[in-house]
A = this chain, B = another copy of it.
Amino acid sequence: MVETTRRREIEEAASSLFRERGYSGTSVRDIARALDIQGASLYAHVTSKQDVLWSIVERMATRFETSATAASAAVGSDPAAQLAALVRNHVLVVTDDIERASVFVHEWRALSSERRTEMARRRDAYERRFRTVIAAGTDAGVFAPVDPNVAAAYVLTALNGMVAWYRPGGRIGPEVLADSYADLSMRAVLAKGTVPGGPA
Q: How far is the CB of A40 from chain B (nearest CB, A)?
A: 22
What is the bound-complex CA distance between A21 and B106, given in angstroms? 11
What is the bound-complex CA distance between A188 and B22, given in angstroms? 32
Chain copies in the assembled complex? 2
Range class of the A interface residue count: 35 or more
Contact B172 A161 (CB under 8 A): no
List residues of A (161-199) whose CB comes within 8 Å of B's CBs. Answer: 161-162, 164-165, 172, 177, 180-181, 183-185, 187-190, 192-193
Q: Is A153 an interface residue (CB 8 A)?
A: yes
Chain B interface: which of A49-57, A67-75, A142-150?
A: A142-150
List residues of A (61-112) whose CB comes within 8 Å of B's CBs. Answer: 106, 109-110
A153-B161, A158-B155, A172-B147 known; A184 and B192 CB under 8 Å? Answer: no
Contact A157 B157 (CB under 8 A): yes
Q: Tell me which residues across on chain B come within 8 A of A156, comparing CB atoms.
A: 161
Q: Tell me which residues across on chain B come within 8 A of A161, comparing CB atoms.
A: 153-154, 156-158, 160-161
Contact B157 A181 (CB under 8 A): no
A22-B22, A24-B24 known; A184 and B110 CB under 8 Å? Answer: no
Contact B24 A146 (CB under 8 A): no
Q: Tell me which residues across on chain B come within 8 A of A177, comparing CB atoms.
A: 150
Q: Tell me which residues across on chain B come within 8 A of A147, comparing CB atoms.
A: 172, 180
Question: Which residues of A are in contact with B by a Cβ distance under 8 Å?
Answer: 20-25, 106, 109-110, 144, 146-147, 150-151, 153-158, 160-162, 164-165, 172, 177, 180-181, 183-185, 187-190, 192-193
7 cross-chain pairs, A with B, having the tightest CB-CB distances, nearest first: A157-B161, A24-B25, A24-B24, A158-B158, A188-B188, A184-B188, A154-B158
